């Protein structure tokens, strides 16, 4: 498929998957309407780039549906001057969108194959364990965990600036929900605002207690 063939798909994504599901920030809509999402998926799956579904990237990872990213960025209420961290950046799509919305983006990924594909798509990522965040450039005004996790580790909470926001998918009992949290004086409060499909990120399992 040619680049021009994807343009109607991108417009349809904005009209049917974003505007109809509470993605009402004009800057978020414009950014997602500009970034060529097809560049961030494997060539064999490019026909699915704008589908309202998880798009497999290989290695058990997936690109989240457009609505999930759009809602998380809308609820973050970004003003444009933020320093941001993307955790689980994958092939770089969410970082490419976020670069249009904030002043500075650090994108973190641990999978070398995904990092290589992000580089090929023109996005620079740093490499390290996702659950540890990227303390070297902290603090951040906004942290996007681009997927679903069972909990947000304290190591990541501590990298948010006072008043900073953390947006993520919360995985609970085989259901994923979108959530936004705020860090104030070291305390982390979370609000869940929507059910949505989101890819499970590795390394964020809660420690289970012993049971018979």
Per-residue pLDDT tens digits for 73-123: 999 999 999 999 999 999 999 999 999 999 999 999 999 999 999 999 999
Q: Is residue 59 part of a domain?
A: yes
Tokens encoding 105:
């983006």
Alpha-carbon distances of 70 from 21, 54, 116, 190, 212, rounded to whole Å: 9, 14, 25, 18, 42
Q: Would strands 160-172 and 175-184 be described as parallel, antiparallel, or unpaired? A: antiparallel
Q: What is the CATH number of the domain that holds 74?
A: 3.40.50.150
Q: Is residue 203 part of a domain?
A: no
Q: Is residue 87 part of a domain?
A: yes
For 121-156, what is each residue's pLDDT tens digit? 999 999 999 999 999 999 999 999 999 999 999 999
- Nearest by Cα to 178 from 46, 24, 41, 70: 70
Q: Is residue 159 part of a domain?
A: yes
pTM equals 0.95
pLDDT at residue 212 above 50? no
Tokens encoding 103:
């002043």
Q: Which pLDDT score, from 0 to 100, does residue 5 have?
A: 86
Q: Is residue 206 part of a domain?
A: no
- Which residues span the domain enclosing 131? 3-195
Q: Is residue 110 part of a domain?
A: yes
Q: Is residue 211 part of a domain?
A: no
For 29-45, what is each residue's pLDDT tens digit? 999 999 999 999 999 99
Provide the number of structural domains found in the chain: 1
Strands (E), the chain: 55-58, 61-63, 83-87, 104-109, 126-127, 140-149, 160-172, 175-184, 187-195
């Amino acid at each position: 498929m040619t680049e021009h063939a994807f343009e109607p798909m991108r417009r349809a994504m904005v009209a049917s998957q974003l505007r109809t599901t509470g993605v009402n920030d004009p800057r978020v809509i414009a950014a997602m309407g500009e970034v060529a999402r097809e560049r961030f998926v494997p060539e064999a799956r490019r026909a699915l780039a704008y589908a309202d579904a998880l798009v497999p990237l290989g290695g058990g990872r997936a690109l989240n549906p457009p609505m999930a990213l759009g809602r998380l960025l809308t609820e973050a209420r970004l003003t444009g001057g933020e320093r941001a961290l993307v955790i689980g950046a994958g092939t770089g799509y969410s970082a490419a969108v976020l670069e249009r919305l904030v002043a500075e983006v650090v994108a973190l990924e641990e999978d070398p194959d995904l990092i290589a594909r992000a580089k090929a798509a023109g996005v620079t990522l740093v490499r390290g364990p996702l659950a540890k965040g990227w303390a070297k450039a902290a603090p951040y005004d906004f942290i996007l965990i681009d997927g679903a996790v069972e909990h947000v580790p304290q190591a990541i909470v501590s990298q948010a600036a006072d008043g900073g926001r953390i947006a993520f998918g919360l995985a609970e009992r085989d259901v994923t929900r979108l959530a936004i949290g705020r860090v104030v004086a070291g305390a982390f409060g979370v609000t869940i605002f929507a059910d949505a499909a989101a890819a499970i990120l590795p390394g964020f399992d809660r420690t289970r207690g012993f049971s018979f």
